[in-house]
């Protein structure tokens, strides 16, 4: 259902704390079936008054959250071309298999002998990710892409430390995801930015000037956030390796190259995957995700503990295998529920299907780009002629000539029933609009989206005020974000 | 095979013509020939949906889940009942399939859920500010360590040995990165040794960490532990940050961290309406005093108004976050666990104000009953005598190796809990799903298993005697 059809427009919704009545309840506690003993918890350790949680019946709770759900735009209802997020279809098979009690009700401390199915699944997923990335050693532990990045940078740090070297700098292109520099700081290293050349790739001269003996690694995604595959990647790898540094692959854009080329073959030492992107997880309004990493032979000793091992009798175990390991990044084995889904996806598609997914994603992106060629005078492609699975338009001419910003265009798209693309990222493109259609959209959908953009631009030529005040049909209109940050109200007052 | 795509041959021709290319290979012209894979990936061929389902079902069948045995496994994740309405709400497309609410006008539902979640966590912990969830418990604790680094920059982190071992390991890994030393304070009689704790805290200490209840199930004296580091008082930059990890299910009856001098409370959210999933996904919670609001990791939803003055919600204080501040961000967390946090807030609404207290009381009584029942077995002793709410530790007689005992119980369809090999002990967890009958069965099976080991010892002794 498009946002234009919502029955809830204009409705003000109370929070759950403003509903219900004292004494109402949904939960009935099981009977106290053991003899009651007083004084088990001394008064000084006891809570004087229960927490002020809501008091509602089950029907009220259901109705409240179902009404809230209707105030969300979702992928199952409409086109969601949010660049760099890979909002591809979420197969429902995945929800069914993840909910099987043998997966969903399996305790993480269950003895490995009694979790052989889970460990085999994880083992198979590790092998598949190793093959897809061209880097054979995999840890599934990280909880999200950014968590995988932290693992990767700590791995690079441990690798250098083990060789008796202290390297303090990490190079990141100015096109990098914001998580890359944030991760570097968390890992106690210093960010050094590398420029972008006219083709949208890494500026090799700048890279050569900055690549020194103090560099721990270069973090790169290829294709990058401009939708450009950096054809100089072999030279980049040479420059980085010549100074003894490690090459790190941000796997956020892996959806463009599965079965076509591999980070390991390009010379990368470490890669993180975003299972929630390339290998389909429902994005859940911002998680859960999963960010496994794969590494080359020389990085393997530093991988996180514990690892899955296959013993001579064919059985699987979980063991700490390396004394040089950076340790552990979270509790238990990682987001297993996500592994089940991505493993099902890889089994469904197989080698051929994964490649077809990437080819189709790139075809869809280039087709949409071609369809938007008609409006290139207002929204030109920022770099190149062809793109990979996503592309960046600049709204600068549109802003100058039609008087509407990229944000206005995005908000007006909401009135047409589309989720807008990513706006104002990557940072080096003025008025950036980053569009990623993914392989699961039909040609008709792409045509409809292109037509909507044309309609909005034509409308803006007549009356830019319509876009400037958009959206007009959503449950709420433009929100005061500055006010929210100035006087933060982040909880319901009781 | 199933590719979830819809491009027909005719579509492909028309699309390539629109682009001005003859072949899809030309789309990849930028990739140097030497880097092309040039062969199919070495993976099994794709399979139809029903075959994939059968395979995944077969793998599931080779696991022994909480559906297959009476389990007392805990140690950080617990087999609580997940009410049906949570499955229904978490599987609604509108919650399941959107991304981070970057466009608030069409994300009011998800944003309001975050706001309600933050409120619930604030209420549970009695701390005024909370984020909209982080990955899970141990990484939440480690992230709190990084927060302390941002606040006072001191190089030593003092952690109680009662903190979950995975959380201590995670903290050590993070600390390798941001450059801090982790010092562990031992337990005495199952709880943090207060004298050693006080002695370990000095001018170099950036943060102190304890867990409540701790890993061995003991309820700690949170006020004394926090007071030793000056928690909740004075200038937060000139003293250690007091960080505590709590089991949220106990906060209906346990004095909340915000009333004990704790500055930052973190924890594993799984017990709140999330399934076990072999360790994840679940969510971590993170609450703090006002002073730490602008340095907290992760997302925060805030209330505001729209152009017509109507109430609405947005992601706020984003200038802390990586997409704006890049290397100056207070954390690198981007995608967190919004869907799992939804499960958490729905669960708390389902329990309600009285329910969380009643559930806590039930667990308190049953846990005590179970400890008594197990310790009535000849040779089984409590590992400590501190108050316990939902989990407790016992030691087995030295002649009954814990691994053998666990094995014997499992053969009877009872998982007696987590083996603690260093104590030859067991960590036994109780939920509302383990009735008195289940506990009695555990006690009977465990008694038999221990007795059997005693029998083995006698036989071995006799056989030794003959030689």
Q: pLDDT value at position A9?
A: 62
Are B417 and B433 found together in one domain? Answer: yes
Average pLDDT over residues B192-206: 97
pLDDT tens for B139-164 read 999 999 999 999 999 999 999 999 99
In this structure, what are the phi and psi dihedrals at residue B381, rounded to the nearest 5 degrees? -125, 150
Average pLDDT over residues A38-45: 97
pLDDT tens for A65-98 read 999 999 999 999 999 999 999 999 999 999 999 9
Q: What CATH number corresponds to the domain at position B379? A: 3.90.1150.10
Distance (Å, rounded) from C-alpha A285 to C-alpha B371?
42
Q: Is residue B34 part of a domain?
A: no
- Choose the final residue of a domain: B348, B381, B397: B348
Q: Is residue B399 part of a domain?
A: yes
Of B358, B352, B443, nearest to B405 (Cα)? B443
Of A18, A387, A103, nearest to A223 (Cα)? A387
Q: Mean pLDDT over all residues of chain A?
A: 96
Instruction: Please tell me which residue of chain A has the smallest CA distance to B99.
Output: A285
Q: B316 vs A96: CB contact, 8 Å cut-off?
A: no
pLDDT tens for B407-462 read 999 999 999 999 999 999 999 999 999 999 999 999 999 999 999 998 887 776 65
Are B201 and B88 found together in one domain? Answer: yes
Q: Is residue B8 part of a domain?
A: no
Cβ proximity of B176 and B147 under 8 Å: no
Q: Is residue B55 part of a domain?
A: no
Residues of A in contact with B172 (CB under 8 A): 327
Residue spans per domain, chain A:
16-68, 93-348, 350-484
Distance (Å, rounded) from C-alpha B55 to C-alpha B44?
13
Instruction: Please tell me which residue of chain A has the smallest CA distance to B320.
Output: A182
Cβ of B438 under 8 Å from any chain A Cβ?
A: no
Average pLDDT over residues A286-310: 97
Are B402 and B301 found together in one domain? Answer: no
Q: Is residue B219 part of a domain?
A: yes
Alpha carbon A365 to chain centroid, angstroms:
19
Average pLDDT over residues B227-232: 91
Which option is the CATH number for A350-484: 3.90.1150.10, 1.10.3720.10, 3.20.20.70, 3.40.50.300?
3.90.1150.10
Please count the other Cβ atoms lying within 10 Å of the Cβ belonging to residue A376: 12
Are B189 and B335 found together in one domain? Answer: yes
How many Å is the maximal CA-CA distance in chain A? 80
Q: pLDDT value at position A364?
A: 98
A372: closest CA of chain B, how far (Å): 11
Alpha carbon B52 to chain centroid, angstroms:
30
Q: Residue B288: pLDDT above 80? A: yes
Q: B105 vs A477: CB contact, 8 Å cut-off?
A: yes
Q: What CATH number corresponds to the domain at position B104? A: 3.40.640.10
Cβ of B29 under 8 Å from any chain A Cβ?
A: yes
Which option is the CATH number for A93-348: 3.40.50.720, 3.40.50.620, 3.40.190.290, 3.40.640.10?
3.40.640.10
Are B227 and B266 found together in one domain? Answer: yes
R_g of chain B, CA atoms, integer Å: 26
Bond from prior residue into B383 cis (ω within 30 degrees of 0): no
**Which residue has better confidence, B232 or A154?**
A154
pLDDT tens for B57-106 read 999 999 999 999 999 999 999 999 999 999 999 999 999 999 999 999 99
Q: pLDDT value at position B307?
A: 94
Q: pLDDT value at position A494?
A: 85
Are B227 and B375 found together in one domain? Answer: no
Average pLDDT over residues A253-272: 98
Cβ of A468 under 8 Å from any chain B Cβ?
A: no
Average pLDDT over residues B357-368: 98
Q: B59 vs A118: CB contact, 8 Å cut-off?
A: yes
Residue entry with tokens 């509108």: B94
Q: Which two tokens stand for residue A454?
A: 């044309």
pLDDT tens for A183-230 read 999 999 999 999 999 999 999 999 999 999 999 999 999 999 999 999
Are B321 and B411 found together in one domain? Answer: no
Return the percent helix, strand and coil in chain A, to nearest 5: 40, 10, 50
Q: Residue A7: pLDDT above 60? A: no
Mutate to test the interface with A, among B49, B109, B128, B165 (most CBs of A within 10 A): B109
Q: What is the DSSP-derived secondary structure letter of residue B63?
A: B
Residues of chain A above pLDDT 70, percent: 98
Residue among B34, B102, B219 minimizing CB distance to A41: B219
Are B332 and B377 found together in one domain? Answer: no
Chain A, residues 383-442, CB within 8 A of chain B, namely: 386, 410-411, 414, 419-420, 422, 425, 439-442
A490: closest CA of chain B, how far (Å): 5
pTM over 0.95: yes
Q: Residue A2: pLDDT above 80? A: no
Q: pLDDT value at position B2?
A: 56
Are B357 and B435 found together in one domain? Answer: yes
Question: How far apart, in Å, are the Cα atoms of B239 and each of A361, A416, B125, B145, B151?
Answer: 53, 54, 22, 14, 10
Mutate to test the interface with A, among B142, B221, B266, B277 (most CBs of A within 10 A): B277
Cβ of B150 under 8 Å from any chain A Cβ?
A: no
Chain A, residues 193-222, CB within 8 A of chain B, namely: none
pLDDT band at residue A10 using 50, 70 and 90 as cut-offs:
low
Would you call B82 helix, strand, or coil by DSSP? coil
Average pLDDT over residues A370-397: 97
Instruction: Please tell me which residue of chain B has the smallest CA distance to A1.
Output: B94
- Choose the final residue of a domain: B300, B325, B348: B348
Residues of B in contact with A283 (CB under 8 A): 97-100, 335
Q: pLDDT value at position A4?
A: 43
Average pLDDT over residues A400-406: 98
Distance (Å, rounded) from C-alpha B201 to C-alpha B197?
7
Q: pLDDT value at position B235?
A: 81
Strands lying side by side in the sheet with B284-288:
B129-130, B284-288, B264-268, B241-246, B205-212, B156-160, B181-185
Of A148, A218, A157, A145, nearest to A187 (Cα)? A157
Q: A147 vs B311: CB contact, 8 Å cut-off?
A: no
State the total domains in chain B. 2
Q: pLDDT value at position A277?
A: 97
Residues of A in contact with B16 (CB under 8 A): 363
Give me the domain span that covers residue B439.
Answer: 70-77+353-466
Average pLDDT over residues A103-132: 98
Residues of A in contact with B336 (CB under 8 A): 144, 286-287
Mutate to test the interface with A, among B49, B70, B106 (most CBs of A within 10 A): B106
Cβ of A2 under 8 Å from any chain B Cβ?
A: no
Are B242 and B270 found together in one domain? Answer: yes
Q: pLDDT value at position B329?
A: 87
Q: Residue A276: pLDDT above 50? A: yes
Are B199 and B341 found together in one domain? Answer: yes
Residues of B in contact with A18 (CB under 8 A): none
Q: B303 vs A26: CB contact, 8 Å cut-off?
A: no
Residue entry with tokens 């061995």: B216
Q: Is residue B109 part of a domain?
A: yes
Residue among B120, B253, B316 minimizing CB distance to A485: B316
pLDDT band at residue B321 using 50, 70 and 90 as cut-offs:
confident
Are B247 and B386 found together in one domain? Answer: no
Q: B105 vs A411: CB contact, 8 Å cut-off?
A: yes
Q: Mean pLDDT over all residues of chain B?
A: 95
B465: closest CA of chain A, how far (Å): 36
Cβ of A21 under 8 Å from any chain B Cβ?
A: no
Q: pLDDT value at position B325?
A: 84
Q: Residue A3: pLDDT above 60? A: no
Instruction: Please tell me which residue of chain B has the smallest CA distance to A192.
Output: B327
Beta-strand relationship, B418-420 and B264-268: unpaired
Q: B15 vs A29: CB contact, 8 Å cut-off?
A: no
Question: How far apart, in Å, are the Cα atoms of A280 and each of A146, A288, A371, B5, B99?
Answer: 17, 12, 27, 13, 12
Average pLDDT over residues B28-43: 97
Q: A422 vs B102: CB contact, 8 Å cut-off?
A: yes
């Amino acid at each position: 259902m498009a946002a234009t059809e919502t029955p809830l427009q204009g409705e003000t919704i109370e929070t759950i704390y403003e509903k219900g009545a004292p004494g109402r309840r949904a939960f009935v506690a099981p009977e106290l079936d053991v003899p009651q003993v007083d004084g088990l918890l001394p008064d000084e350790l006891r809570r004087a008054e229960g927490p002020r949680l809501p008091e509602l019946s089950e029907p009220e709770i259901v109705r409240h959250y179902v009404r809230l759900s209707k105030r969300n735009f979702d992928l199952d209802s409409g086109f969601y071309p949010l660049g760099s997020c890979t909002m591809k279809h979420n197969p429902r098979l995945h929800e069914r298999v993840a909910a099987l009690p043998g997966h969903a009700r399996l305790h993480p401390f269950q003895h490995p002998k009694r979790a052989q199915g889970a460990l085999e699944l994880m083992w198979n997923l590790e092998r598949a990710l190793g093959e897809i990335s061209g880097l054979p050693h995999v840890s599934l532990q990280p909880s999200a892409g950014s968590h995988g990045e932290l693992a990767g940078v700590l791995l690079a740090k441990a690798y250098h430390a083990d060789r008796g070297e202290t390297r303090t700098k990490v190079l990141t292109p100015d096109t990098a995801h914001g998580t890359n520099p944030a991760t570097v700081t968390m890992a106690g290293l210093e960010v050094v930015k590398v420029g972008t050349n006219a083709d949208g790739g890494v500026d090799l001269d700048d890279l050569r000037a900055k690549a020194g003996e103090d560099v721990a690694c270069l973090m790169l995604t290829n294709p990058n956030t401009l939708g450009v595959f950096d054809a100089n990647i072999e030279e980049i790898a040479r420059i980085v390796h010549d100074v003894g540094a490690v090459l790190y692959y941000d796997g956020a854009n892996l959806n463009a190259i599965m079965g076509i080329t591999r980070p390991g073959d390009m010379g990368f030492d470490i890669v993180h995957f975003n299972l929630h992107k390339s290998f389909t997880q429902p994005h859940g309004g911002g998680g859960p995700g999963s960010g496994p990493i794969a590494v080359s032979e020389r990085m393997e000793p530093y991988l996180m503990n514990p690892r899955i091992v296959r013993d001579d009798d064919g059985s699987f175990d979980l063991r700490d295998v390396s004394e040089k390991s950076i340790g552990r990044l979270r509790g238990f084995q990682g987001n297993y529920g996500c592994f089940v889904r991505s493993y099902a996806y890889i089994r469904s598609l197989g080698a051929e299907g994964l490649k077809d997914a990437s080819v189709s994603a790139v075809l869809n992106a280039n087709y949409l780009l071609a369809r938007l060629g008609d409006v290139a005078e207002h929204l030109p492609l920022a770099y190149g002629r062809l793109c990979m699975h996503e592309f960046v338009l600049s709204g600068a001419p549109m802003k100058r000539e039609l008087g509407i910003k990229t944000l206005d265009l995005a908000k007006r798209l909401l009135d047409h029933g589309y989720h807008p693309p990513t706006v104002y990222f990557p940072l080096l493109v003025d008025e950036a609009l980053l569009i990623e259609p993914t392989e699961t959209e039909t040609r008709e959908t792409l045509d409809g989206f292109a037509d909507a953009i044309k309609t909005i631009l034509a409308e803006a030529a007549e009356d830019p005020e319509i876009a400037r005040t958009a959206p007009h049909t959503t449950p709420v209109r433009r929100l005061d974000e500055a006010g929210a940050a100035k006087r933060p109200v982040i909880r319901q007052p009781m | 095979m199933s590719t979830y795509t819809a491009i027909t041959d005719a579509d492909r021709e028309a699309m390539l013509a629109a682009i001005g290319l003859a072949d899809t290979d030309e789309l990849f012209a930028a990739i140097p020939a030497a880097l092309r894979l040039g062969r199919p990936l070495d993976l099994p061929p794709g399979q139809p949906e029903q075959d994939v389902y059968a395979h995944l079902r077969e793998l599931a069948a080779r696991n022994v889940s909480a559906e297959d045995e009476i389990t007392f496994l805990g140690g950080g994740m617990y087999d609580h009942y997940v009410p049906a309405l949570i499955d229904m709400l978490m599987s609604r497309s509108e919650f399941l399939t959107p991304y981070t609410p970057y466009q608030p006008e069409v994300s009011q539902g998800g944003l309001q859920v975050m706001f309600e979640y933050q409120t619930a966590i604030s209420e549970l912990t009695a701390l005024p500010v909370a984020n909209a969830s982080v990955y899970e418990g141990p990484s939440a604790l480690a992230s709190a360590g990084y927060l302390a680094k941002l606040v006072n920059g001191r190089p030593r982190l003092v952690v109680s040995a009662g903190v979950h071992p995975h959380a201590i390991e995670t903290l050590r890994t993070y600390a390798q990165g941001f450059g801090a030393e982790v010092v562990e304070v031992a337990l005495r009689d199952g709880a943090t040794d207060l004298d050693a704790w006080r002695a370990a805290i000095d001018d170099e200490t950036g943060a102190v960490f304890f867990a409540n209840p701790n890993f061995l199930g003991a309820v700690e004296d949170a006020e004394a532990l926090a007071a030793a580091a000056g928690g909740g008082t004075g200038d937060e930059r000139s003293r250690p940050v007091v960080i505590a990890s709590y089991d949220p299910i106990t906060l209906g009856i346990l004095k909340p961290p915000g009333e004990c001098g704790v500055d930052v409370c973190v924890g594993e959210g799984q017990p709140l309406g999330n399934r076990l999933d072999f360790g994840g996904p679940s969510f971590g919670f993170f609450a703090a005093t006002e002073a730490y609001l602008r340095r907290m990791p992760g997302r925060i939803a805030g209330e505001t108004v729209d152009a017509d003055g109507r109430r609405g919600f947005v992601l706020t204080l984003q200038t802390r976050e990586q997409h704006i501040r890049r290397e100056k961000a207070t954390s690198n967390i981007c995608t967190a666990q919004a869907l799992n946090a939804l499960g958490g807030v729905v669960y708390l609404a389902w329990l309600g104000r009285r329910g969380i207290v009643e559930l806590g009381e039930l667990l308190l009584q049953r846990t005590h009953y179970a400890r008594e029942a197990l310790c009535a077995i000849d040779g089984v002793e409590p590992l400590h005598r501190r108050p316990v709410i939902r989990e407790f530790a016992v030691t087995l007689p030295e002649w009954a190796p814990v691994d053998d005992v666990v094995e014997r119980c499992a053969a009877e369809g009872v998982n007696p809990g987590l083996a603690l090999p260093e104590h030859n002990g067991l960590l036994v967890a109780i939920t509302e799903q383990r009735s008195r009958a289940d506990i009695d069965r555990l006690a009977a099976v465990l008694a038999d298993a221990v007795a059997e080991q005693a029998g083995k010892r006698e036989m071995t002794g006799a056989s030794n005697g003959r030689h």
